[in-house]
Structure 1
Amino acid sequence: MSSNGAAPTAPQVQESGIKAALKYTGIPQSWLSKRPKLPSRNWLIFIGITSTVTGYYLYDRRQCKTIRQAYVDKVKHLAEVPLHSHDYPRKVTVYGAKWPDDEDSDRAIKYFRKYVKPILVAAAVDFDMVIGKRYGDISSRVADEIRSRRRLEAGIDPPKRNIIAKAGNHSPEAERRRELAGGIVLVGRPTFKEFMEGLRRGWSDGLEKVDREDKLARELESDGKFDELEEPSSPVDPESVGDGEPLPTKSRLPPSTGLFKPPYLRPLPVDKGSSSSSSPIPEQFNIPPASIPQQPPILFVPFTNYLGFLQVPHMIWDFFNQRQKVLSGAQCAYKLIESQTRPFEPTTDLDCGLDAEHYYKSSMKKYAESIEKIRTGYYKALPDKLKTARDLARGNREPTKDETNYPPPTEVELRAERLKKELRWRSDVSGWDIIKPEAPVAFDERFNGALEVFADPLDKETEL
């Protein structure tokens, strides 16, 4: 008989299934009896944002692969066409100028390699890449190449001889046909401006070879930066001292600049019988031609490089929208491969990539002033360096301990350093004057009929 007042015990629920099996595996009973519930508010926010960002990133990269593969499938049959053993594949020239205020000078070429090159490789199209390390490098290179070709065609320079015999036809006419069948790729607005300026200068300047370094050295020779400093006047009678010999006054001293001047900076003797403006080539070769020959077709690749804190939102947007760049690069490569061209239209084609100039850093507006500030500081410190170099060279004083351990530059080194700096400063400023937003794109009326651009293929590709 049960004791009085005892409460009846509830019947135990018989466990079965997976819970009964997991009970004997050592899993705590609290874990098995715990009922699931929704995460907290903060966890829901974190999971939602993380999954959305990750999903958008994965979707974008998957679309990039799909777009690229679709264009590769369109052109890969061209790589399977047999090529004669004496023939060469089609080759294009790719130019990439330095983006304003970007320390990485090959940013435009990196863009080409990532978004345009895969399609060209699939179609077996070869290419040469030209990188502008500093402002104005592309324009100088293009102008020099055009002048060299003009000198060769005018018979001023002898044709180049190939030491190693090559198979196939390498006549100037055949090389010219291959060049016209290739094309020119310009990545970004700065590259476009520099190329057009180089094209204009190459067909407008004379054929006389000008050594820029020698020309600048002669110009710097007369600015007086390396002249001897005047010594303070002595109270002693300058006409007679001691034995009656006159002191060497400034008028009696030989010029000291000739002793410490490097040979390549000394003035060359001038033949008085001939005019200094005479040219070693006939004057008619320095006259610009009335028309220019047909040029290879041009492909402009849009490119914008975001720099600075204020453009971080654009960087984030670009990171999650790489498919737009892949599509743009693939379309440009497809236009080049299809080789459908149209005449260059100055009214519209000169504005290619104009929107990209709005993203230049605001500090570039004072670029010329910053160069001038650096130049002023250099010339302010130059007299002290020059005095130290001359005192040590002439034995006027003994070198200090620091000067013995770390010898200061000599006058010859200071002259060479100054020439190098002036070349860089002037080249940078002239190059910036070409690509700055206020400067228009160089154009010559002779370009009409000589320039062509790659056009969209007639068969409109479907939107991806």
Structure 2
Amino acid sequence: MVDSSSSAAAPGAGKPQVPPKPPNPVFKMMGLPNLRFRLPSRNWMIFWTITGSFASAIIYDRREKRRAQQKWCELVAHIAKEPLEVEQMRRKLTVYLAAPPGDGLRVARDHFKEYVKPILTAAALDYTVIEGRREGDVRAGAAEHIRKLRRKAGEPSTVVEEPSVEAAVLDMRERIGVKDEPAPKGDLVIGRHTWKEYVRGLHEGWLGPLDPPAAPVDHSVQENAEETMKDVAAGDQPEPTDQQGVSVTKLDDIKIDEDKTDEPKAEEKKQEDKPSKPAGRADAYITTADYPSAHLPPTLPQSFDSSIPIEFPHILGFLNTPIRMYRYLTQRYLAESIGREVAGIVLASAARPYRHESFSIDSELSEVSVDSSAPLDGPIGELPRGKYEQQAVLEGEEKEWHKSVHKRDEDDKERVWLDDIVLDPRIAARMKHSVLSPEDEARSKRIAEQKEYILGEERPAPVPFWKRMWINYGYGEDEETIRRKSILGNIDGEEGA
């Protein structure tokens, strides 16, 4: 009889068992465990692949973004080293920024500091910021800035300007003979919503009057006064009123309803909870319908300072997370585009008029010193009309505005953000857009290829990574800083020093 235990042999019994590899005695002496190198599991492979890919995309994008900004900063850095006379002030630009629709002003400020300010700082240019926290603030600020220039140029006005620190500083500079640098200025407008207000304020400042409009008349008070006069003429005794014209009723004639005493408080609470409405048209000096009948002021220049609209992509909402994630990983393209525009207005080497459907491509680029000889002071009916480039600038940003911004109230007569841009041909023809000249464009490419550096300087030798990290974290100094340091001798006169 055959033994059943011997017939049923265990599988793999013929293979010799390999003993585990003994641990390295060095690790054992150091107190380290026996480390076995093996591939991670499937879940860990998925985790590290996704995490590593996302981190690599961020690192690559930030590096390319830094390189793009460095290229445009090196392109304009020679302006900071140009000598300036003692009685001259550095050229100043004007920056217009407003809170994006549906968000706060801090987002616009961060966008300016991240993409625009580094290039202005590299060129050592001064700038003035006109901010707006709600719709209509930038329009009012831009129009008031132009009206001040017109009053200063000598146009008659009944407005008495209040004393301010800025006016006192400007007056003191004029007394001691300090003047601005004789160089072209410009305006940087951030975002489509700010651009709409900027164009509206430009028209209001140059075409509108210098004196503020009359206060609106309250027709209800006027009708009450007329009714009171009729009652007096008829022999009726008018109700007693206080000093403000409000009727005074005796306490005996008042019946208090306890159930309705809380209604006024509830109404007041509802009014407080409502968000603040955009700036209305009560403070507007001129409307878009009055453009054709407006007369040009005598101080209107033949051409305005150059202006550039800056991209400001801003989208809200949880469902737009994929779009926001893509933009977060591709900030290098935005830095390249904005850097080109800002460098063009900083260098101020070339400018072109905004395109019109009647313009030709050959007459697109012009020098900044070009003097427009077109008859821009004639009647508005004789000037060209049509589609202007200013109306289509950054038009795609309006589709990404929050849906709450597109809602109109019944009492809103005009909304600068929602209404179409209305241009007067006499003003639109005087606007210019700064661009890079072909020479500056070629030099920027050479800078990107590491073939050229700041004008008048040679590119320094590359610093190794370990040395750069050593310097950045405060353990050393670069050669440029050491060379600028003043070497002091033996001040105390000690021997052996």
Shift of 1:329: 2.3
Question: Structure 1 CA distance, aligned partners of 2:50 and 2:201?
Answer: 51
Name the counterpart of 2:24.
Answer: 19
Could you say if the C-alpha distance between residues 201 and 122 of structure 1 is closer, same or farther in structure 2, counting changes exceeding 3 Å? same
Shift of 1:97: 2.3
Does 192-201 or 453-462 show the bigger shift? 453-462
2:172 is aligned with what amino acid? I
Question: TM-score normalised to the size of structure 1?
Answer: 0.63
Contact 2:206 2:297 in 1 (8 A): no
Name the counterpart of 1:43.
Answer: 44
Could you say if the C-alpha distance between residues 250 and 85 of structure 1 is closer, same or farther in structure 2, counting changes exceeding 3 Å? farther
Shift of 1:186: 0.6
Name the counterpart of 1:398.
Answer: none
**Are 1:353 and 2:362 matched, yes or no?**
no
Contact 2:98 2:133 in 1 (8 A): yes
Question: TM-score normalised to the size of structure 2?
Answer: 0.59
Name the counterpart of 1:343.
Answer: 353
Name the counterpart of 1:122.
Answer: 122
Name the counterpart of 1:73.
Answer: 74
Could you say if the C-alpha distance between residues 24 and 153 of structure 1 is closer, same or farther in structure 2, counting changes exceeding 3 Å? closer
Question: Structure 1 CA distance, aligned partners of 2:42 and 2:21?
Answer: 34
Question: Structure 1 CA distance, aligned partners of 2:32 and 2:87?
Answer: 77
1:87 is aligned with what amino acid? Q
1:194-249 residue CA offsets vs partner (Å, 9 max, x unmatched): 111111122222333336xxx24x43763999xxxxxxxxxxxxxxxxxxxxxxx9
Could you say if the C-alpha distance between residues 358 and 311 of structure 1 is closer, same or farther in structure 2, counting changes exceeding 3 Å? same
Three-state SS of the structure 2 residue aligned to 1:314 is helix
Three-state SS of the structure 2 residue aligned to 1:350 is helix
Three-state SS of the structure 1 residue aligned to 2:392 is coil
Shift of 1:165: 5.0
1:184 is aligned with what amino acid? D
1:200 is aligned with what amino acid? H
Does 87-96 or 106-115 show the bigger shift? 106-115
Question: Structure 1 CA distance, aligned partners of 2:218 and 2:398?
Answer: 35
1:99 is aligned with what amino acid? P
1:219 is aligned with what amino acid? D
Contact 2:354 2:431 in 1 (8 A): yes
Shift of 1:55: 1.1
Contact 1:189 1:356 in 2 (8 A): yes
Shift of 1:126: 0.9
Contact 2:207 2:297 in 1 (8 A): no
Pairing partner for 1:253 from 238, 255, 258: 238
Gaps spanning 5+ residues in structure 1: where?
Answer: 1-9, 226-248, 262-285, 373-428
Contact 1:87 1:168 in 2 (8 A): no
Three-state SS of the structure 2 residue aligned to 1:435 is coil
More helix by share: 1
Could you say if the C-alpha distance between residues 97 and 341 of structure 1 is closer, same or farther in structure 2, counting changes exceeding 3 Å? same
Name the counterpart of 1:222.
Answer: 221
Contact 2:315 2:400 in 1 (8 A): yes
Question: Structure 1 CA distance, aligned partners of 2:313 and 2:210?
Answer: 36
Could you say if the C-alpha distance between residues 139 and 61 of structure 1 is closer, same or farther in structure 2, counting changes exceeding 3 Å? same
Shift of 1:257: 5.6
**Are 1:140 and 2:125 matched, yes or no?**
no
Shift of 1:96: 0.8
Name the counterpart of 1:323.
Answer: 332
Three-state SS of the structure 2 residue aligned to 1:364 is coil
Could you say if the C-alpha distance between residues 251 and 107 of structure 1 is closer, same or farther in structure 2, counting changes exceeding 3 Å? farther
2:317 is aligned with what amino acid? G
Shift of 1:44: 0.7
Question: Structure 2 CA distance, aligned partners of 1:146 and 1:27?
Answer: 75
Shift of 1:352: 1.0
Name the counterpart of 1:237.
Answer: none
Contact 1:109 1:129 in 2 (8 A): no
Question: Structure 1 CA distance, aligned partners of 2:107 and 2:146?
Answer: 26
Shift of 1:22: 3.1
Could you say if the C-alpha distance between residues 219 and 54 of structure 1 is closer, same or farther in structure 2, counting changes exceeding 3 Å? same
Question: Structure 2 CA distance, aligned partners of 1:117 and 1:131?
Answer: 15
Pairing partner for 2:427 from 447, 455, 463: 447
Three-state SS of the structure 2 residue aligned to 1:363 is coil
> What is the CA RMSD across the aligned residues, in angstroms?
3.6
Contact 1:98 1:134 in 2 (8 A): yes
Does 360-369 or 441-450 show the bigger shift? 360-369
Q: Matches of residues 346-385 of structure 1 in structure 2 within 5 Å?
A: 346=356, 347-368=388-409
Question: Structure 2 CA distance, aligned partners of 1:76 and 1:322?
Answer: 23
**Are 1:200 and 2:203 matched, yes or no?**
yes
Shift of 1:359: 0.4
Contact 2:130 2:141 in 1 (8 A): no
1:78-104 residue CA offsets vs partner (Å, 9 max, x unmatched): 2111111111111100001232222x1
Does 150-159 or 447-456 show the bigger shift? 150-159
Name the counterpart of 2:322.
Answer: 313
Contact 2:341 2:435 in 1 (8 A): no
1:170-207 residue CA offsets vs partner (Å, 9 max, x unmatched): 6xxx66x85x7110111111111111111112222233
Shift of 1:142: 1.9
Does 184-193 or 19-28 show the bigger shift? 19-28
Q: Matches of residues 64-103 of structure 1 in structure 2 within 5 Å?
A: 64-102=65-103
Contact 1:206 1:288 in 2 (8 A): no
Question: Structure 1 CA distance, aligned partners of 2:148 and 2:202?
Answer: 13
Shift of 1:250: 11
Three-state SS of the structure 1 residue aligned to 2:237 is coil
Could you say if the C-alpha distance between residues 203 and 72 of structure 1 is closer, same or farther in structure 2, counting changes exceeding 3 Å? closer
Pairing partner for 1:289 from 276, 285, 296: 296
Does 109-118 or 182-191 show the bigger shift? 109-118
Contact 2:306 2:345 in 1 (8 A): no
Percent of residue pairs identical: 25
Question: Structure 2 CA distance, aligned partners of 1:355 and 1:136?
Answer: 21
Contact 2:68 2:335 in 1 (8 A): yes
Name the counterpart of 2:465.
Answer: none
Question: Structure 1 CA distance, aligned partners of 2:72 and 2:138?
Answer: 30
Shift of 1:443: 0.8
1:19 is aligned with what amino acid? N
Contact 1:200 1:442 in 2 (8 A): no
Contact 1:60 1:322 in 2 (8 A): yes
Give the paired residue count. 334
1:253-302 residue CA offsets vs partner (Å, 9 max, x unmatched): 345264466xxxxxxxxxxxxxxxxxxxxxxxx96227842211111111
Shift of 1:169: 4.2
Three-state SS of the structure 1 residue aligned to 2:135 is coil
Question: Structure 1 CA distance, aligned partners of 2:134 and 2:199?
Answer: 17
Name the counterpart of 2:227.
Answer: none
